């Protein structure tokens, strides 16, 4: 179901951004050159009480990043971690009060 701007919705599940910490970005966290690791970028949170809000926009956000360890041909520089692939999901931006917004997947909204 497609939601329109200003439409009143209710939901119990929101999405929060996860921090890509230094742990994922250091070459020491990889075993071999070319190894890939999938890193989640968003976390789903289930709320205690149902919230009601209004649709104020749509956003296409990164949900999973795939990292790989790349070889540095210059011996003076260390190997580096590179982002190979990113998976995106579309979230609705929902105004839940006068100062906060929540990112909610379409499947978690009820009109």
Whole-prediction pTM value? 0.79
| Averages of pLDDT over each 10 residues, the chain, 111 residues | 92 91 65 80 94 96 88 73 90 93 94 81
Backbone angles phi, psi at 24, to 5 degrees: -80, -25
Compute the distance between CA of residue 56 and CA of residue 61 in angstroms, rounded to an integer. Answer: 16
């Amino acid at each position: 179901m497609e939601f329109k701007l200003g439409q009143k919705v209710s939901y119990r599940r929101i999405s929060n951004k996860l921090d890509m910490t230094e742990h994922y970005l250091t070459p020491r966290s990889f075993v071999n050159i070319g190894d890939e690791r999938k890193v989640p970028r968003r976390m789903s949170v289930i709320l205690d009480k149902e919230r009601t809000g209004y649709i104020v926009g749509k956003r296409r956000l990164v949900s999973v990043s795939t990292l790989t360890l790349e070889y540095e041909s210059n011996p003076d520089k260390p190997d580096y971690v590179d982002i190979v692939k990113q998976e995106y999901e579309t979230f609705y931006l929902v105004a839940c009060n006068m100062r906060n917004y929540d990112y909610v997947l379409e499947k978690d909204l009820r009109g």
